[in-house]
């Protein structure tokens, strides 16, 4: 385990400004501004655990209640591979909640996640980490390795989860109202799902991040990203509904063999159809 999830040394490598004369003072200010000091405290309280137990302890420690609906669907696939596809409502808590819930029944469950969740070493046993923000040859190799690991995991009979959007849900303006929903689900993930030919279980997370976080997305996604640390801590006392839908069988997916855009939209609609009017936003 790490001494700290986000260490001073790690931040110092991010930009020359953190390595100058006033580097330590700037780092201290930046950690407070972004809420990463709170994230470190949350990690520190649970880091003696790993995998599913880490996820459960963390959620309990910060006081997030996960209400699971239709969990019995998972028992239809005891000892068999399946895929979950989910909306990426939060960018962190949703991945942790998925592993805590599904991993409790299937300890071999893994999720393909971005580099933010991938930094949590105590969850590495349940992660296949990729970085959607990288560019160049390294990103290509990194993505290819993630795909290879995913295919092998499924072939060996294990379940695998995806956030096909690849990033936290985006904010859009409808008149004077903000609407939050996943961006277009990414073709590389959809292609992998189409090729896998195994059942897909849609998984919907209720709610969203704070209005400040969503408003900042309208200004600049980088400003929004600075809020992610606070968006972990401010979920204290919240209730999130995690809702499983009916499995989508391979023959239904086969209809979209030559239409990845159509398949992506179909899977996304199936996931968002699990939303209820009673869900708190």
Domain extent listing, the chain: 50-272
E-assigned strand segments in the chain: 65-69, 83-86, 110-113, 127-129, 160-162, 170-174, 177-181, 200-205, 239-244
pLDDT for res 145: 81
Residue 49's φ and ψ, nearest 5 degrees, are -105, 165
Per-residue pLDDT of 56-106, as tens digits, reads 999 999 999 999 999 999 999 999 999 999 999 988 899 999 999 999 999
**Which residues, given as ranges, of the chain have pLDDT below 50?**
133-138
pLDDT for res 31: 82
pLDDT for res 117: 74
CA distance 54 to 142: 26
pLDDT for res 98: 97
Residue 258: count of CB within 10 angstroms of its CB: 8
pLDDT for res 134: 47
pLDDT for res 15: 75
pLDDT for res 141: 62
Residue 196: count of CB within 10 angstroms of its CB: 19
pLDDT for res 140: 58
Phi-psi sector, 225: left (phi>0), alpha (psi -120 to 50), beta: alpha
Angle at 211 between CA 59 and CA 190, to 5 degrees: 70
Homologous superfamily of domain range 50-272: Glycerol-3-phosphate (1)-acyltransferase (3.40.1130.10)
Per-residue pLDDT of 43-58, as tens digits, reads 899 999 999 999 999 9
pLDDT for res 109: 98
CA distance 192 to 155: 12
pLDDT for res 142: 62
């Amino acid at each position: 385990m790490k001494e700290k999830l986000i260490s001073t040394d790690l931040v110092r490598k991010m930009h020359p400004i953190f390595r100058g004369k006033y580097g330590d003072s700037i780092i201290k200010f930046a950690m407070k501004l972004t809420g990463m000091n709170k994230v470190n405290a949350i990690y520190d309280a649970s880091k003696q655990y790993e995998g599913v137990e880490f996820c459960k302890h963390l959620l309990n420690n910060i006081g997030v209640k996960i209400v699971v609906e239709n969990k019995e669907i998972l028992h239809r696939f005891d000892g068999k591979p399946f895929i979950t596809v989910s909306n990426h409502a939060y960018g962190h808590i949703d991945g942790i909640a998925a592993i805590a819930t599904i991993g409790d029944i299937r300890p071999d469950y893994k999720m393909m996640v971005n580099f933010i969740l991938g930094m949590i070493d105590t969850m590495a046993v349940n992660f296949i980490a990729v970085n959607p923000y990288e560019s160049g040859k390294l990103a290509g190799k990194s993505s290819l390795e993630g795909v290879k690991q995913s295919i092998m995991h499924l072939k060996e009979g294990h379940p695998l989860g995806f956030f096909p959007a690849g990033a936290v849900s985006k904010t859009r303006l409808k008149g004077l109202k903000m609407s939050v929903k996943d961006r277009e689900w990414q073709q590389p993930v959809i292609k992998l799902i189409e090729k896998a030919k195994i059942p897909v279980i849609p998984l919907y997370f209720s709610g969203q991040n704070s209005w400040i976080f969503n408003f900042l997305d309208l200004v600049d996604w980088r400003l929004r990203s600075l809020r992610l640390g606070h968006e972990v801590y401010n979920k204290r006392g919240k209730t999130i509904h995690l809702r499983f839908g009916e499995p989508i069988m391979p023959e239904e997916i086969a209809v979209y063999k030559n239409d990845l855009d159509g398949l992506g939209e179909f899977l996304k609609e199936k996931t968002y159809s699990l939303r209820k009017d009673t869900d708190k936003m």
